[in-house]
Chains A and B, each alone.
Chain A
Amino acid sequence: MSVTGLVFDVQRFSLHDGPGIRTTVFLKGCPLSCRWCHNPEGMGTAPEILITPDRCIECGACVDACPHGLPSGVGSGWAAAKELCEACGLCADACPTGARRLVGHQVSVEGLVDQVMRDRVFYAESGGGVTFSGGEPLRQAEFVLSCLEALKGLEIHTAVDTCGLVERDDLLRAAAIADLFLYDIKHADPATHAEWSGAPNGRILENLAALAAVHDEIWVRVPVVPGVNDDAFNLRQTAALAASLPGVRRVSLLPYHELGAEKRERVGVSGAPFNGMSPGPDRMRDFAAIFEEAGLLTTIGG
C-alpha cells in the first residue's frame, strides 16, 4: 500500500513560500511549540477539530452526531469536552455551516500530486511550483520524499519549508531532490529559543550547516516576533550565521501577525496566550538593513 501523509491544508496561489505562483502543502505535526505559531492547527500530530465560533448557528447537529455524547457546540462546554474528543469528524460532517471542521486528512502520494498538479499552467507561467510546509513536513519524511520524487519526475519546482528540528538523514535525502529549502531560524541563542519554541536550537543549526554544505538554494526565514527575537543583537547574530553558510541565497523576514492568536483559540491550543503586535513596515525595513549589511539578499515577507 502506498504511503500516505496527514495533511491539514493545500493552499493554492501561495505567493510567499518560494518563487512564482505556488501550491503549499501543510503537513500536520511539529516538534516545536512556538508560542506565536500562526499555524497552530499544524502543531498536533493527530487530526483535530477546528472551531469557527462566528459561524455557529446553535442548531445542535454536532451534539446529536457525537458518538460519545460530548457537549459539543463552540462554548465553554466544548473546551472541557475537547480532552475526550477522538476527532472522528462526525460532528464536522453534521455541521451545516462549517463552524466545526476536521483538520488533518490522510492523503496518498498520487492523490496529493493530482491535487497540486492542477495549477501546473500557473507554475509554468510564473516559475512557481509546490512547497511542503506545516507543521514540520519532514516529520512525515517518507510521504514528503515520495511526493518530491513524483513532482521532480513531472518537472515541477519543489521547496521544503522546515523548522530544522528533524532527522539529519531525512533532511539530506530531501536535499537530493528538492530545488529549494526555506529554513527557519527563530532565535540565535539556545536558551531563548528553548524558552519560546520548546526546544534549544543546537540541532537546528547543525542541520542547517549540513544542509548548506550539500545544497545551494537555501532561503533562511526569520519570523520577526516583537519582544522575542527583534533585538538588534540577536538579529546581528542571526545575520552573521546566515552569511557564513555558502548555500544561503537570501533571508526572508516574516513579520509576526496576529492571525495566529485567534486561530490558537479556535483550535484550542493550551499554554500561555501570546499577544504580540505586528512590527510595522518601518521597523521591518530597519531589521532588513541589518541583514543587508551582512551582505545578504533580504526580503520582507516571503
Chain B
Amino acid sequence: MTDRTERLRRHSLEAEPSISAERALLITAFYEQNLGRLSNPVLRARAFLDLCERKTLYHGDGELIVGERGPEPKAVPTFPELTCHSVEDLRILDSRPKTRYSVSGAAIADYERTVIPFWTGRSLRDRLFDALPAEWHDAYEAGVFTEFMEQRAPGHTVLDDKIYSKGMRDFQADIDAALAGLDFAEDPEAHDKSESLHAMRVSCDALIRFAERHADLAEERARQESDPDEKAVLEKISAACRHIPANAPRDFHEALQYYWFCHLGVITELNGWDAFNPGHLDQHLLPFYERGLADGSLTRDSAKELLEAFFVKFNNHTAPPKVGVTAAESGTYTDFANINIAGVLSDGADGSNEVSHILLEIVDEMHLLQPSTNVQVSKETPNDVLEHALRVIRKGFGFPSLFNAEAAVAEQLRQGKTIEDARAGGCSGCVEVGAFGKEAYILTGYFNLVKVLELALHDGFDPRTGRQLGPKTGAPERFETFDDLFTAFERQLRHFVDVKIRGNQIIARTYAREMPAPFLSVLIDDCIANGRDYNAGGARYNNRFIQAVGIGTITDSLAAIRKVVFEDGLLTLPDLVSAMQANYERHEALRQRLLHRTPKYGNDDDAADDLMRRVFDAAFECIDGRPTAIGGAHRLEMLPTTSHVYFGSVTGATADGRRAGLPVSEGISPVQGADRKGPTAVFRSAAKMDHIKTGGTLLNMKFTPSLIEGDEGIERLRHLVRGYFAMDGHHVQFNVVDADTLREAQADAGYSDYFCDLSDALQEEIIERTAHAAF
C-alpha cells in the first residue's frame, strides 16, 4: 500500500456510519412539488436529476476516485419513498450496540417534521403491505418467508463492459433512435415507452451534471493547492470528470471514475439490492491497463494505487439500514457489491489476467469490509490464479469466495440465455448467477423449509403464533408411512410457495408501475431497445428467485423421523412430535439418539442425502419456471445470508435433535457440527444436489489453520475446490479460523470488529460450524 492508500484506507475504516437526512429532505421536497404532475418514469428521472444537481459533494484529501452517495464517507442517505424510518427506528439505530448508525438530533427532527408526515401511507412499503393479502401477512409474520422488496428496490444486477466503449451521450443517441422508432399509431404501448425513454434520457443528463459538479470542485481545489504533485492529481480528476461519463473513458483512471459515477447513480436513484457491481473488473480494465503500460501513462504500481482508491470508495458505502422490527437486530454494514475476478471470456477461454492478480493483492493487503470479492474458477483458470486466491483466503478474512464458472454458465443456459451472455455473466451479491449487463435477477425472499415441515407435522397449525397457517394436511397420527408425511410436507410447501409467488406478483407490478429506475435502465440491455424500464421487465432476461433455507436441518429431521419412527419403530410419530413440542425436556436420551444415531446430511450417506434431493426436487418443482408478473420466470436458489438465525428463532424443536429457537442450517452446508466424515464427504453430499437447476447455492466450510499450512495446504485446498467443481458444485467459501480464535474474538471486542459486528447468535453459529482438521 502506498502512503496515499494507507491514509485513504485509515480514513475509511475510522469513519463512523451515520444517517444523513439530506436525500430524504431533497426527495420529499421534490415529490411535494411534482407528485401527480409528471408520469412516474419522468418523475423518477427528474428527481434523480434534482439530487445530482443539489446533493452535497464530497472530495476528500488525497482521493484519486471521487464521489460519495452521502455528504461524506459512511454518511448513509435514506430512501423514504421506498421505506420510511420511524423516529423509533432512528433511535434504535443510534443506540443499538451492534452495526450502529449515529443519527443526529437534527436528522431526527427533520424526519419528525418533514419526512415522516409526507411519506406515511405513501412509501412503497406501506402501500405494498396494504396490497398484500392476509394469508401473505400471516405466513410472513410466522417466519415462513421473508420479503426483500419491503426494504429495498429490486436492483440485483451487475454491469457488463458497455460503459468502457460508450459515454452517456452515446446512450442518449441510442435512446433517440429508440424514440424515433416508436410507432404511435400501431403500438399501444408507444406512449408508455416514450415516457420511459425520455426518463432515461434525463437520467443520462443527471449523471453528466453530477460529474461536472465534481469537475468544478476538483478544479477549485487544484487552484488552491500548493503542492505540485497534488495539484496535478486534482487537475487529472477534473479533466476526467469533464470527459466521462459524457464520453467513453480514455484511460485506466477514467474507466474507474466512470464506473464509480455509474455506481453512485444507481445507488442514489434507488436503494436497489446488492448496490451495484462492476462485474468482471479485471477483464474490463485489461485493455486500459495494457494501453497505459504501453504508452507510459501507467505503471503496475500506479494502476494498483488507483484500484486501491477505488476499493476504498466501496468501503465508504455502508448499506442503508433496514426499518421496522429488524432495526433492533439486523446485523450487517455490507451492501453486497461483489467484484468478480477471473472467470471465462465470451469464447470460453480463460478470463484471468495481470489485473486479476493485482486485485487479489489488494484484497490481501487492504482487509476492507467492502467490496466483497469472488474468483470464478473454470477448468481454464490457471493454478497460479486459484492458488493466489487460496493464499488470500487462508489469511482468514473469508474472501474471496470461489465460484464454479462452468456451473454458472450451465445454470444460465438452462434458463435459456445465449452462451455468450452466460459466459459474460457470473455471480454477484451473495451467490446468485446472472447475465451481467443484461438481466434483472432478483432475490424475492428467504423461504423457511424447516418451518414448512413443522407445519406439516401440526396439520398446518403454527404452534408459535397459534394460527392455522396452512391447509389441513393431516395430523401426525394419520401418517402410516413416511411417504404420507412427505406428501403432507409437499402440499404445505406448494401452498406457501403459492402464497409467496402471489405476493411477488403484486410487488413486481407495483414496482413496475410506481418505482421505475430510468438510470439503471440505461445501463442494462435491452431496456432502451425495448423502451421499457428495468423494474418493468425491460431487461433481456428476467428471473426472480426464492431462496430456500435449512436444507440441512430439514434433511436430518426427515432422516431422523424415517429412522426412529418408520424403520426402527422406537416411538410413534405423535410421541416424537410431543417430545419436540416439549423442546425435549425430559427426553434427553431421545434427543441424543436423534443427534447421534440417525443419518445426517454432509457425511456422504445416501440415507440422508437422498432425502435432501427429494426436498430439493419438491422445492424446484414448486418454484422453477413459474412466470413473474413482469416477464421471465421464478427460480430456486439455496442461499441463507443470515436468515437461518431468524428462521431458527421462529421454529420449534426439530426431529434432528435441534432445540427450539436455535439457528437452522445455512445455505447447503450441513447442520452445524453434523458433518463428521471430513470435507470430501461434505462436498460429495452437497454435490448430490443438482446445482445446475438453481440460481446459486452457498456452501460454507471452516478449516483449522493447521490443515492448510504451507504450499501443501494450498495444494490440498486447490484439489478440494477442483474436485467439488468437477462435480458441478456452484460455490464454496472457506472460513479459516479455529474455534479458540473465535471464542477469543467473542470475548474481546477489540480482536476483530468484523466478527463482533455479528449478533451473538450468529457468532455461536459460526463457532459451531464444523472445523475440518487433518486426519
Contacts and interface: CB of A to CB of B under 8 A. Distances in A.
Contacts of A12: 604, 677-678, 680-681
Contacts of B604: 12, 118
A193 B60 CA distance: 74
B775 A96 contact: no
Interface residues of B, number: 28
Nearest to B707: A15
A15 B715 CA distance: 12
B590 interface: yes
B716 interface: yes
B596 interface: yes
A201 interface: no
A20 interface: yes
Interface in B386-439: none
Contacts of B684: 118-119
A125 B677 contact: no
A57 interface: yes
Main secondary structure of the interface of B (DSSP, over half): helix
A74 interface: no
Contacts of B680: 12-13, 21, 118-119, 122
A275 interface: no
Nearest to B712: A15
Nearest to A93: B597
Interface in B660-700: 677-681, 683-684
Given A16-B774, A57-B589, A121-B726, A98 B596 contact: yes
Interface stretch (B100-108, B245-253, B267-275, B717-725): B717-725
Nearest to B593: A96
A61 interface: yes
Given A57-B588, A118-B604, A121-B727, A13 B678 contact: yes
B716 A96 contact: no
A134 to B, nearest CB: 15
Contact of A126 (B592, B596, B678, B716): B716
A96 B590 contact: yes
Interface string A1-22: 0000000000111111000110
Nearest to A60: B589
A278 interface: no
Contacts of A21: 680, 716, 719-720, 723
Interface in B250-276: none
A11 B775 CA distance: 8
A96 B560 CA distance: 13
A121 B592 CA distance: 34
A12 B772 CA distance: 12
Interface string B747-775: 00000000000000000000000001011
Interface in A88-117: 95-98
A126 B680 CA distance: 12
A59 B589 contact: yes
B726 A125 contact: yes
A130 to B, nearest CB: 13
B252 to A, nearest CB: 37
Nearest to B596: A98
Contact of B720 (A97, A122, A124): A122
Looking at chain A's contact residues, the main secondary structure is mixed
B592, B595, B726 pick with most chain A CB within 10 angstroms = B592
A21 B775 CA distance: 11
Contact of B589 (A13, A96, A125): A96
A280 to B, nearest CB: 15
Contacts of A59: 588-589, 592
B228 to A, nearest CB: 55
A97 B588 CA distance: 10
B775 A125 contact: no
A121 B589 contact: no
A122 B775 contact: no
Nearest to B657: A96
A61 B593 CA distance: 11
A57 B592 contact: yes
A6 B721 CA distance: 33
Contact of B592 (A11, A14, A97): A97
Given A21-B719, A98-B597, A125-B722, A15 B774 contact: yes
B775 A15 contact: yes
Given A11-B775, A13-B775, A119-B684, A61 B589 contact: yes
Contacts of A118: 604, 680-681, 684
A96 B570 CA distance: 12
A121 B774 contact: no
Contacts of B772: 13
Interface in A1-47: 11-16, 20-21, 24
Interface string B59-97: 000000000000000000000000000000000000000
B592 A125 contact: no
Given A11-B775, A15-B775, A126 B593 contact: no
Contacts of A98: 596-597
A39 to B, nearest CB: 12
A124 B677 CA distance: 19
A95 B590 CA distance: 10
A53 to B, nearest CB: 15
A73 to B, nearest CB: 14
A150 to B, nearest CB: 20
Contacts of A124: 723, 726
B719 A14 contact: no
A16 B712 CA distance: 11
Contact of A125 (B588, B719, B774): B719
A24 B593 CA distance: 28
Given A118-B684, A121-B723, A122-B719, A14 B589 contact: no
A159 B455 CA distance: 51
B518 to A, nearest CB: 48
Given A12-B681, A118-B604, A126 B719 contact: yes
A126 B716 CA distance: 7
B99 to A, nearest CB: 37
Contacts of A15: 716, 774-775
B720 A96 contact: no
A124 B719 CA distance: 9
Nearest to A21: B719
Contacts of B596: 55, 96-98
Contacts of B595: 97
Nearest to B713: A15
B589 A20 contact: no
Contacts of B683: 122
A13 B703 CA distance: 13
Nearest to A17: B775
A46 to B, nearest CB: 24
Nearest to B679: A13
Interface string A43-76: 0000000000001010101000000000000000
Interface in B577-594: 588-590, 592-593
A21 B681 CA distance: 12
A20 B604 CA distance: 20
Interface in A114-146: 118-119, 121-122, 124-126, 128
B729 to A, nearest CB: 10
B724 to A, nearest CB: 8
A123 to B, nearest CB: 9
Nearest to B568: A93
Contacts of B592: 57, 59, 96-97
Given A12-B604, A12-B680, 11 more contacts: A13-B774, A21-B716, A21-B723, A96-B590, A96-B596, A96-B597, A98-B597, A118-B684, A122-B720, A125-B722, A126-B715
Pairs of residues from A and B, 4 with the lowest C-beta to C-beta distance, nearest first: A13-B678, A96-B593, A126-B719, A96-B592
19 contacts: A11-B775, A12-B681, A13-B679, A15-B716, A15-B775, A55-B596, A57-B589, A59-B592, A61-B589, A95-B597, A96-B589, A96-B592, A118-B604, A122-B683, A122-B723, A125-B719, A125-B723, A126-B719, A126-B723
